[in-house]
A and B are shown apart, each in its own frame.
Chain A
């Protein structure tokens, strides 16, 4: 019995296009060393300058001497195709990326470079003419990725100078994917920055968040028995009074405990993300973030001080810094 057969026609349930047979692609394209690809131009001061300017790289090692030296990170760019997709004269007619085109034809037209591993053996100097060879070394099984179903294709490229000396090597992995259907038919047009989850500000807690926006760490204090409490709550635990006022805390305290989160890294937080329980001098305990230190340097009982910072527009938090052992 098939649900799909009985379901009304609906774009969401369109069958994906047939996936290319990976084994056929592997048999055809894996481990074929293709080349040479000849650089359009010798390594030149002009291209190095253009690169350094774009990167904001002022390292005098590149342009400071009589003979310019290329930043090693330029490696792959020397033997690229020109703007029309043409390789320089003398290059092989074979196309390393033919395999990527096979994915395109079958609807796996999405293409992103996902990883890069380059080893630089010797510097490229002004006047050097580079040529390269390229080998497809891996075509992964199908994977479901955040971008859509796809396969990772890995290329190994070798770069030589005019004396046939190996100057550098790169392993580049591309994801060829079938873009996942968007939730709406409109293409996305705005980039949405990921923000912290905002606290609920209500009758019993708004004073705390508003106080922080004004640079003050305000604790609830019972109007009847003067007991302090945190986090904010409607009623005093000691005398059950619902009448309260606030007391501005000094922000000084000691580390009661902490934990350091290393992985997974979830935006927008910085990692390692150190979460701390602080015993404030006033006598209540508060959970926050510890900043400006490494996890290994923290001890239970360390003295800390709140530093109220606007972490995002309209959201201020008491972040703590270690000020003494």
Chain B
């Protein structure tokens, strides 16, 4: 994993995209891992009864995937300080969500990233995150 060097980062830098295939297994495993037993995240008949065509991803799984996306890029030395997100269209089985992002600003060692996750229906999620990146002494002495 090549991690970004704080001193080399510039606003506008694009994060590599990450494709997440949306399957019923992905939705259910995320709901279970986040202790979310709302029926619309595992029971298709119940989801139909509430007017949606299928089960859909819960917000915690979206949050977890966004967190993974951010640290896949920023590396194991980084730490997420804050995530602010809004949900749009649902993640239904059979779709694919593509996460993308860009650096907005860098203040001290905190990098603000804007991100979005787009699927076949539109934007599932969009938001901003703030990550603390390690300061690298070698880089700063250059």
CA distance A266 to B64 in the complex (A): 25
Chain A interface (Cβ < 8 Å from any Cβ of B):
47, 50-51, 53-57, 59-61, 64, 71-74, 76-77, 80-83, 85, 109-110, 112-120, 123, 147, 172, 179-180, 182, 187-191, 193-194, 265-268, 270, 294, 296
Asked if A267 and B29 make an inter-chain contact with CB atoms under 8 angstroms apart, the answer reads no
Q: A57-B71, A64-B76, A267-B121 are in contact. Are A191 and B95 (CB under 8 A)?
A: yes
Min C-beta distance of B21 to chain A, whole Å: 10
A-B contact count (CB 8 A): 153
CA distance A56 to B99 in the complex (A): 14
Asked if A193 and B51 make an inter-chain contact with CB atoms under 8 angstroms apart, the answer reads no
Asked if B50 and A54 make an inter-chain contact with CB atoms under 8 angstroms apart, the answer reads no
CA distance A50 to B35 in the complex (A): 11
Residues facing A in B1-50 (CB within 8 A) are: 12, 14, 20, 26, 29-30, 32-37, 48-50
Asked if B81 and A59 make an inter-chain contact with CB atoms under 8 angstroms apart, the answer reads no
Q: Which of B60, B72, B85, B121 has the most CB of A within 10 A?
A: B60
Which residue of chain A has the shortest Cβ distance to B52 in the bound complex?
A188
Q: A54-B61, A80-B36, A191-B94 are in contact. Are A59 and B50 (CB under 8 A)?
A: no
CA distance A302 to B131 in the complex (A): 36
Asked if B87 and A187 make an inter-chain contact with CB atoms under 8 angstroms apart, the answer reads no
Asked if A54 and B64 make an inter-chain contact with CB atoms under 8 angstroms apart, the answer reads yes
Q: A56-B68, A115-B86, A294-B12 are in contact. Are A77 and B94 (CB under 8 A)?
A: no
B59 at the interface (CB under 8 A from A): yes
Q: Is the interface of B mostly helix, strand, loop or mixed?
A: mixed
Asked if B34 and A194 make an inter-chain contact with CB atoms under 8 angstroms apart, the answer reads no
CA distance A144 to B81 in the complex (A): 34
Asked if A57 and B84 make an inter-chain contact with CB atoms under 8 angstroms apart, the answer reads no
Asked if A120 and B32 make an inter-chain contact with CB atoms under 8 angstroms apart, the answer reads no
CA distance A80 to B82 in the complex (A): 21
Min C-beta distance of A313 to chain B, whole Å: 13
Q: A54-B30, A77-B60 are in contact. Are A270 and B71 (CB under 8 A)?
A: no
CA distance A61 to B48 in the complex (A): 39
B54 at the interface (CB under 8 A from A): yes
Chain A residues positioned under 8 Å from B92 (CB to CB): 191
